[in-house]
Amino acid sequence: MSQLRPLQPSFFAAARERLRARAEAAGLDGLLLLRAPNLAYVTGLFLSANERPMGIWLPVAGDPILMLPDLERENAEDSGLADLRFYDEFPGDVPAVLWMLDQIGPKMVGIDQLDAALLDAVRSQVTRLDLTDHAMIERSYKQPEEISLIREAAGFADLFLHRLHAAAGDIISQGGTEADLLADAMAHARGRLFDKHKTAFAGTPMGITASVHSGPRAALPHGTVLQRVPKPGETLVAGIGGSLGGYHAESGVTLIVGDISDDQRRIMQAMQACHESAVQACAEGRTCAETNDAALDALRHAGLGEAIRHRIGHGMGLEGHEAPWLAPGDKTVIRPDMVFSSEPGVYRPGRDGYRTIDTMIVTVAGVEIPSRFQTDTPIDTRVITL
């Protein structure tokens, strides 16, 4: 197997060509991409998204135009693109997006995002305005190189969980807190990630993000990591994100401090059924909304409907959370090469909370799960022995 490496210039050139084709099919002269993830997708530039607009014009015919604030001049020169144009500063006498449209000229333009305050002015500068995010639609279908990065990132998210599972008992027994558990497992997983990839992937985003929260605080879907010592009988929820070369994956689990009670086992089994229903629905090519319903029905059938606080999952790639959404209202049909999270959650405020997370890669043969912690750690072994 060849050594894993960042996405190459040929990838970004191919992405630009796919988006040119989308623009042409939509009857447009080209696409103006302003969202930082979309810019990264077609240039490989992972620039800091701030108040200064950045854009690239991808015409159906002709060369791309990369348009950035002047402080990004040197970064732009490393992009390999020939037509580079710069504006002085934000906010400027002329808003940067209007300056970009002036560089392009009157055209039938697709723009991926637009401040509503600029809508009338933009309409006056174009012959047709399409506000569909065509780049995000294209990004929802991952190329093999992207999937390789996502697989690898999932492994490092798992590594955090393996460390947490192995070390939490000793740390808690010595009075260690949620913050101590987080720091220990983070240092382990992040250290291994950088030891393996820091040279080859220098200059691209990579890292680990995580949360560990326990007891009644675990009932909050976005619980805060505290200086709190987990107690026997409590749940401990860990949610981990890994990224490599700009691409994200997730893994997460609920562990029990001490012995698992019958009620805790019942809930964890219902969550496993929920996850299995999500996998099956993705494999069948159902819509995102139908997948969400099928998965959460497993929790409702277990009598846990009132404990549901969120959708079953979301897309992942250049963003940790991106379209399509496994949620009500998203009628996107699930196809091979899409990547999603599966996140069953049960939350009982004032008492406890549960959440597990897996990364799902949809393939022609079904669904691949590159996050392996749950598969390798059956429910009855998800305990922290004190």
Q: Rounded to the nearest 5°, which phi and psi values hold at 192?
A: -65, -40
Q: Report the CATH number that the domain containing residue 45 is assigned in CATH.
A: 3.40.350.10
Q: How many domains are there within the chain?
A: 2
pLDDT at 1: 38
Same domain, 61 and 162: no
Q: Give the residue numbers spanning the domain of 120.
A: 9-139
Rounded to whole angstroms, the Cα distance separating 305 from 123 reads 46
pLDDT at 2: 52
Answer whether residue 1 is part of any domain: no
Answer whether residue 206 is part of any domain: yes
Answer whether residue 19 is part of any domain: yes
pLDDT at 224: 85
Answer whether residue 16 is part of any domain: yes
Rounded to whole angstroms, the Cα distance separating 92 from 2 reads 48
Is the separation of the CB atoms in 36 and 230 below 8 Å?
no
pLDDT tens over the chain, length 386 residues: 358 999 999 999 999 999 999 999 999 999 999 999 999 999 999 998 899 999 999 999 999 999 999 999 999 998 999 999 999 999 999 999 999 999 999 999 999 999 999 999 999 999 999 999 999 999 999 999 999 999 999 999 999 999 999 999 999 999 999 999 999 999 999 999 999 999 999 999 999 999 999 999 999 998 889 999 999 999 999 999 999 999 999 999 999 999 999 999 999 999 999 999 999 999 999 999 999 999 999 999 999 999 999 999 999 999 999 999 999 999 999 999 999 999 999 999 999 999 999 999 999 999 999 999 999 999 999 999 99
Q: Which long-range contacts (CB under 8 A, 24 or more apart) does 107-110 make?
A: 107/28, 107/29, 107/30, 107/59, 108/27, 108/28, 108/29, 109/28, 109/29, 109/30, 109/31, 109/32, 110/23, 110/26, 110/28, 110/30, 110/31, 110/32, 110/134
Answer whether residue 4 is part of any domain: no
Same domain, 117 and 219: no
pLDDT at 276: 98
Rounded to whole angstroms, the Cα distance separating 358 from 373 reads 9
Is the separation of the CB atoms in 135 and 15 below 8 Å?
no
pLDDT at 238: 98
Answer whether residue 219 is part of any domain: yes
